[in-house]
Amino acid sequence: MRRIGVFIITALLFLVSNAAAEGFRLTSSSLQENGTLPIRHVFNGLGCTGENLSPQLSWQGEPAGTKSFAITVFDPDAGTGKGWWHWLVVNIPAGIHSLPENSGNPQNGLMPPDALQAWNDFGSRGYGGACPPAGSPSHRYQFTVWALDVEGWPYTADLTSAMILVNLQRHMLEKDVLTVIYGR
């Protein structure tokens, strides 16, 4: 009987140590690290002909003390000198560990009730897919999940990406980035 108890404890310690080793991870059913962004997640407008659907995202392994999450999508290769913000979502409750495809459309009600989708650099709230200039080299799109030490802020939808980023960096416990590429 004692051997069975030792075996069970050893097995549990192995499982816990492996889970901790994997750490905080962002995954997607439609995106692969360093893969090409599927056309359904590309912007529809400005010469781009995608469906502008935000991808499905899941995360797990957040650090102890996580009280909320945020999601951002950033293109560091945009020719603006400061990159391009495609999506900023804050105040995702700590009990939420995934967003379904097209949750970035503010009209469809797929986002958790307390979450706020801030203005992106297209000048709208919600997800704005990739749309690099035709003929330019492929751009990188960094999908980031942020584990935060606050439940949320009293954000208003008119906050700028810079103001949100300052707060994300100030309250970040950990983050994980999934990068995809797209060019046309």
pTM (2 d.p.): 0.87
What is the model's pLDDT at position 126? 95
More confident residue, 38 or 153: 38
| Inside any domain, residue 61 | yes
CATH of the domain at 138: 3.90.280.10
| Inside any domain, residue 17 | no
| Inside any domain, residue 6 | no
Task: Determine the residue type at 123.
Answer: G
> Could you tell me which residues are beta bridge partners of residue 36?
181
- The pLDDT tens digits of the residues spanning 92-130 come to 999 999 999 999 999 999 999 999 999 999 999 999 999
Please determine, for residue 162, whether its predicted confidence score (pLDDT) is greater than 60.
yes
Please determine, for residue 62, whether its predicted confidence score (pLDDT) is greater than 70.
yes
| Inside any domain, residue 2 | no
If you search the block for the tokens 């102890």, which residue do you land on? 64
Please determine, for residue 16, whether its predicted confidence score (pLDDT) is greater than 70.
no
In the predicted model, what is the mean pLDDT of residues 140-148?
98
When divided into structural domains, the chain yields a total of 1
143 contacts 180 by C-beta, under 8 angstroms: yes
- Give the model's confidence band at 9: pLDDT under 50 very low, under 70 low, under 90 confident, else very high: very low
Q: Specify the DSSP element, H or E, that contains 2.
A: helix 2-22
The parent domain of residue 70 ranges over 23-182
Q: In the chain, what's the furthest Cα-to-Cα distance?
A: 70
143 contacts 179 by C-beta, under 8 angstroms: yes
